[in-house]
Amino acid sequence: MAYTHTLGGERFRFADLRTLMARASPRRSGDELAGVAAASARERVAAQLALADLPLTAFLNEAVVPYEADEVTRLIQDTHDTAAFAPVAQLTVGGLRDALLAGSVDPAALAPGLTPEMAAAVTKLCRVQDLLLIAQRCEVVTQFRSTLGLRGRLATRLQPNHPTDDETGIAASLLDGLLMGAGDAVIGINPATDNLPQVMRLVQMLDAVIARHEIPTQSCVLTHVTTTIAAIERGAPVDLVFQSIAGTEGANRGFGITLAMLQEAREAALSLRRGGRQVMYFETGQGSALSSDSHHGCDQQTLECRAYAVARRFEPLLVNSVVGFIGPEYLFDGKQILRAGLEDHCAAKLLGLPMGVDVCFTNHAEADVDDLDSLLTLLCTAGCNYIMGVPGSDDIMLGYQSTSFHDALAMRRLLGLRPAPEFEAWLQRSGVFDGSLALADGLPARFAALLAGSA
């Protein structure tokens, strides 16, 4: 079905819903690379005005990726909750945006009734402050050993990566992070390889640290899902199963996964009974479908939102966009990274996901630390569930710039945010904190003994 809008005497035509969504997207290099972006700011505004008047029901009648050819589309349409959608079924995209800003709909009750494309459409119409206000109204709480997503809390993933998976190097970064109050979302390592014995050693190492020091957090080695399944089969003490995911079947195949494979992994993790039912950790990022030539002519933000449908299916503990990681081919500069990070967070929260963000950029992007600080501060005001904690903000294994342990401390102090409640209590018991937001002056006795023993 074609859509049209006349702006200042000029008539714009958009061949189908896929095209309308792409032309309405704020400018980004990935859409231009794919050849789907608006040709001018004028065309973009016309598309946004046409999108604002589009009934939400249009998304139930026209798929942006064909139903017959894509299991993600089938998941979205076959699991749509019509009862949850009913209170807004008569609205347009612009009407839903207005209702969300006015607080006249309950985001938690609405979430199962929204398709990813609806959430994407709403965020395309939002300015930055709208994205913050809408996301801030969405509280999504999950729990394993720590409770994440509560209002007034900011958690961190402690990311002690090492380019050779050296356990001493990992331990040093891990201790550094714990002493800065990081790690309540997860202690998560990106291994240098998918070598199964090495992955199992890392899993066992993290499990021993958490058990020995009674840390109320969870661990994850961010290897491919098939490697994690194999580790579970061999008795590894796996807390969370990790996988990168995308918004089309083809892009997920590029990651070497299917929905059935993710279900198998979840069932394997649940069989260990190490926590509750939320045992999955997913990462996403705008541009992943284009990078595997599996975008079906869609814009990258819409496909990013479709990845959230995949995540939502498996009741995850953690989801985060790695917003600037894929590179300037997809998000060219700090402005595009900032906008994309806020869109990702807002749309995911609207869909009921426990969303964090890796506020980051690669070294060849037109971005710097000031851009990261701006996005980080805005996300934390909007209620982002968690951010990354990387030693010195420079990940020496993955080769990109992210947020540091100090950044999380700064946001907690600036905005009065606190760690996850169980983790906060542990920080105080262990002597890392002498108050809810303050680091103790001296080195805690239990960790001083560790350092003395390694001297």
DSSP 211-261: HHHT-S--EEE---HHHHHHHHHTT-----EEEE--SSHHHHHHTT--HHH
pTM: predicted TM-score of the whole model, two decimal places: 0.96
Q: CA-to-CA distance for 220 and 159, rounded, in angstroms?
A: 10
Q: Span 162-184, mean pLDDT? A: 95
Res 262 pLDDT > 60: yes
Which neighbouring-strand residues pair with 318?
281
> At 443, is the pLDDT very low, low, confident or very high (cuts 50, 70, 90)?
confident
Q: CA-to-CA distance for 371 and 388, rounded, in angstroms?
A: 16
Res 63 pLDDT > 60: yes
All CATH 3.20.20.70 domain ranges in the chain, comma separated = 142-430
Q: What are phi and psi of 194, to 5 degrees?
A: -95, 20
Res 253 pLDDT > 70: yes
All CATH 1.10.220.70 domain ranges in the chain, comma separated = 3-137
Res 291 pLDDT > 70: yes
DSSP 55: B
Consecutive H or E run containing 425: helix 421-430
**Paired sense of beta strands 147-148 and 361-362, if any:** unpaired
Q: What is the pLDDT of residues 205-247, one digit of tens each?
A: 999 999 999 999 999 999 999 999 999 999 999 999 999 999 9
Is residue 151 a contact partner of residue 383, using CB atoms and an 8 Å limit? yes
Q: Where are the alpha helices (DSSP H) in 90-166?
A: 93-102, 107-110, 116-124, 128-136
Res 455 pLDDT > 60: no
Region 3-137: CATH code? 1.10.220.70
pLDDT at 454: 58
Tell me the residue type at 301.
Q
Res 142 pLDDT > 60: yes
pLDDT at 396: 80
Tell me the residue type at 17.
L
Q: What is the pLDDT of residues 72-105, one digit of tens each?
A: 999 999 999 999 999 999 999 999 999 999 999 9
pLDDT at 453: 60
> At 436, is the pLDDT very low, low, confident or very high (cuts 50, 70, 90)?
low
Q: Span 392-400, mean pLDDT? A: 84
Q: What are phi and psi of 73, to 5 degrees?
A: -60, -45
142-430 CATH choice from 3.90.930.60, 3.40.50.300, 3.40.50.740, 3.20.20.70: 3.20.20.70
